[in-house]
Amino acid sequence: TKHRLLRAKRMFALLDVDKAGFLDCQKLTNFLQHNTINFLPERLSTIMDVVVGSGKDISMEKFLLLMGFEGVQEADLESIELQERRARLQEAVTTFHTFDEDGSGTIDTSELTGIMKTMGQKMTQEEVEHMFSLADKHGTGEIDFENFCECLLA
| pLDDT per position as a tens digit, 84-109 | 888 888 888 998 999 899 999 999 98
Is 83 found in the same domain as 67?
no
Nearest to 134 by CA among 151, 110, 113, 111: 151
Q: How many domains does the chain have?
A: 2
**pLDDT at residue 55 greater than cutoff 80:** no
State residue 129's pLDDT score: 87
Q: Say yes or no: 88 and 60 in one domain.
A: no
Per-residue model confidence as pLDDT tens digits over 125-148: 899 889 888 888 888 989 999 888
Question: Is the model more confident about 100 or about 75?
Answer: 100
CB of 128 closer than 8 Å to CB of 113: yes
Query: Are 25 and 64 in a shared domain?
Result: yes
**Together in a domain, 146 and 87:** yes
Question: Vertex 74, ends 35 and 78: CA angle to 5°?
Answer: 100
For the chain, the average pLDDT equals 82
Give the residue numbers spanning the domain of 68: 2-72
Q: Give the pLDDT score at 108.
A: 92
- Same domain as 56, residue 89: no
Q: Is the pLDDT of residue 37 over 60?
A: no
Residue among 58, 64, 59, 32 at smallest CA distance from 45? 32
Indicate the SS3 state at residue 11: helix
**Is residue 80 located within the same domain as residue 116?**
yes
CATH number of domain containing 124: 1.10.238.10
Is 58:44 a contact under the CB 8 Å cutoff? no
Pick the last residue of a domain from 54, 72, 90.
72
> Model pTM?
0.54
- Judgement on whether residues 92 and 132 belong to the same structural domain of the protein: yes
DSSP string, 31-70: HHHHH-SS--HHHHHHHHHHHHTT-SEEEHHHHHHHTT-T
pLDDT exceeds 60 at position 45: yes
Q: Which of 20, 52, 72 is the last residue in one of the domains?
A: 72
Whether 13 and 59 share a structural domain? yes
Q: What is the average pLDDT across 67-93?
A: 78
Whether residues 68 and 83 share a domain: the answer is no
Within this chain, do residues 148 and 103 fall inside the same structural domain, yes or no? yes
How far apart CA 5 and CA 3 sit, in angstroms, is: 5
Give the model's confidence band at 49: pLDDT under 50 very low, under 70 low, under 90 confident, else very high: confident
